[in-house]
Structure 1
Amino acid sequence: MKNLLLMRHGKSSWELNVGDQDRPLGQRGITDAHLVGKELAKHNYSIDHVYSSPANRALHTCMICIGEMGHSLKDFSIVNDLYDFSGERVINVIRHLDNALETVLIFGHNHAFTYLANLFGDKHLENVPTSGFVHIQFKESSWAAITQGVTIQTIFPKQLKAW
């Protein structure tokens, strides 16, 4: 059984005149990444590997979340193809994952993550918001063979702030 954990980067700042890959998180993005990371820590996910887009905002979100979760950096990789907005390159990364990995957490971007959540999950999501998390589980034992999974959980910052 394979578990795909997707997390969209936090809200970015547009204050600096930098290229898209270098755009940092804004304060709300930092706060929401901590909020969702703390919630994920409560679920005790057994994550085999964490992958992140090289974009500053995705990488910063990743570092905040895995820090909150207490996950080791020894099982962490930056993958250039995760800097993708369509989802096609992300799908290729997923399909080529090592089958020894049962649960992976991937940090990246929209529209790719909303597309993937709807393509692979069984629950339609209008939008995966910034710092939004989606857990999809597959019955297949090979990443290359995954098709339709089950959307196990979504965690969005807005839901956590409503408490």
Structure 2
Amino acid sequence: MLNKTLYIIRHAQAEDSGNSAMLKDFNRNLTGKGISQSARLGSFLVKDSVKIDCFVSSPANRAFQTAKVLLEQYKLDEEQIRLDESLYGGGPRAYLACLNGISDDFNSLAIFGHNPDITFFAEYLTRDDIGGNMKKATVIEIKFENQAWNEISGKTGDLVRRVDVKSIEI
């Protein structure tokens, strides 16, 4: 059985829902800064030779747009992104259910989602301190040794690294 690698990615900067009563949280789009954050994060992962076999995103605009822009850096298009409705507002358990449902044909997975759920999810999976709340456009890499995706649960992973987009040198 091969090792599995999970990349938990919080969406990049999005429009402020406080500016408009008409703007539903689900429909908030990335700002210009958010688009550049997503591209920068994707570019970093490509340059670092990070291979990702499967991409799953919350269907909320800002998460999907983060995934789409990041995938552009891999020269992949948005059809590669699976949408999981439960990742929007479903809580950390929805993230675990998503992860546990991934085929073992894939050895690496990127999940794009929202705080506070993804921070709680990352903390739940690792034996390590993940460094507090995930900022926007942050990726946490977690390795799982000799486990199938459906065997992963609390404290079964090891934190490899946490990369905040602000820390990336261009």
TM-score when normalising by structure 1? 0.90
Asked whether 1:159 is paired with 2:167, we answer yes
After superposition, where does 1:7-156 map in structure 2 within 5 Å? 7-14=9-16, 15-16=19-20, 17-73=22-78, 75-84=80-89, 86-124=91-129, 125-147=131-153, 148-156=156-164
Query: Which sits farther off after the overlay, 118-127 or 61-70?
Result: 118-127
Per-residue deviation, 1:138 = 0.1
Per-residue deviation, 1:74 = 5.0
Per-residue deviation, 1:88 = 1.2
Structure 1 regions of 5+ residues with no counterpart? none
| Structure 1 residue ranges (4+ consecutive) displaced by more than 2 angstroms after TM superposition | 69-76
Task: Please say if residues 136 and 152 of structure 1, whose CA atoms lie closer than 8 Å, have aligned partners that are also in contact.
Answer: yes
- Alignment size in residue pairs: 162
Structure 2 regions of 5+ residues with no counterpart? none
Given the superposition, is the C-alpha separation of residues 71 and 155 from structure 1 closer, same or farther in structure 2, using an over 3 Å criterion? farther
Instruction: Tell me the alpha carbon deviations over residues 47-66 of structure 1, each in whole angstroms, 9 at most, x when there is no partner.
Output: 21111110000011111101
Structure 1: distance between partners of 2:127 and 2:62: 28
Structure 2: distance between partners of 1:117 and 1:27: 27
Per-residue deviation, 1:8 = 0.5
State the secondary structure of the residue aligned to 1:41: helix
Per-residue deviation, 1:95 = 1.1
Instruction: Tell me the alpha carbon deviations over residues 139-158 of structure 1, each in whole angstroms, 9 at most, x when there is no partner.
Output: 13311212421111211022
What amino acid sits opposite 2:6 in the alignment?
L
What amino acid sits opposite 1:127 in the alignment?
N
Q: What percentage of aligned pairs have identical amino acids?
A: 23
Partner of 2:7: 5
Given the superposition, is the C-alpha separation of residues 155 and 69 from structure 1 closer, same or farther in structure 2, using an over 3 Å criterion? farther
Structure 1: distance between partners of 2:92 and 2:65: 21
Instruction: Tell me the alpha carbon deviations over residues 7-56 of structure 1, each in whole angstroms, 9 at most, x when there is no partner.
Output: 11011112453111101112221221111111111122222111111000
Structure 1: distance between partners of 2:128 and 2:167: 17
Query: Which sits farther off after the overlay, 7-16 or 107-116?
Result: 7-16
